[in-house]
Amino acid sequence: MASSRLRAFNSSVGTKILIGLTGLALFLYLIIHIAGNLMVFFGPAAFNKYAYTLEGNPLLPIVEIGLLLVFLIHVYKTVAMYIGNQRARPVRYVKKQFAGPPSPTRASCRSSSVTGWA
């Protein structure tokens, strides 16, 4: 049962889910880190208390190793997915050729993608 769950992360959809979850974890770490650094605006005493609390926490090395693992998994799975996508379609898509300047149209037609009016 557990191996089938782990095997799901080797599929395309599972890889994207894993990349999303690790990206979310990195984003949350960034928000928490910024919030901690903003303690400097509450004065030296508040920032020093925050720093000593972090420094004295015995879980800090475990969290740092976990953060490193999350980062490495995120990068590895992203690169592996990119390479897999390149191998799945070795022939690149054809780029559209420039057709020249736009034809004379009304301003309402040119702005219809923004305004919704034609």
Query: For position 23, what pLDDT does the model report?
Result: 97
Place of tokens 């990206």: 23
Stated pTM of the model: 0.69
Other Cβ atoms less than 10 A from the Cβ of 49: the count is 13
The structure tokens listed for 111 are 């702005």
Q: State pLDDT tens for residues 69-81.
A: 999 999 999 999 9
Query: For position 1, what pLDDT does the model report?
Result: 56
- What DSSP string describes 49-97? HHHHHHHT-TTHHHHHHHHHHHHHHHHHHHHHHHHHHHHH--SPPPPPP
The secondary structure of residue 117, as a DSSP letter, is -
Q: Which residues of the chain have pLDDT under 50?
A: none
Query: For position 60, what pLDDT does the model report?
Result: 92
Query: For position 103, what pLDDT does the model report?
Result: 64
Distance, CA of 77 to CA of 15 (rounded, Å) = 7
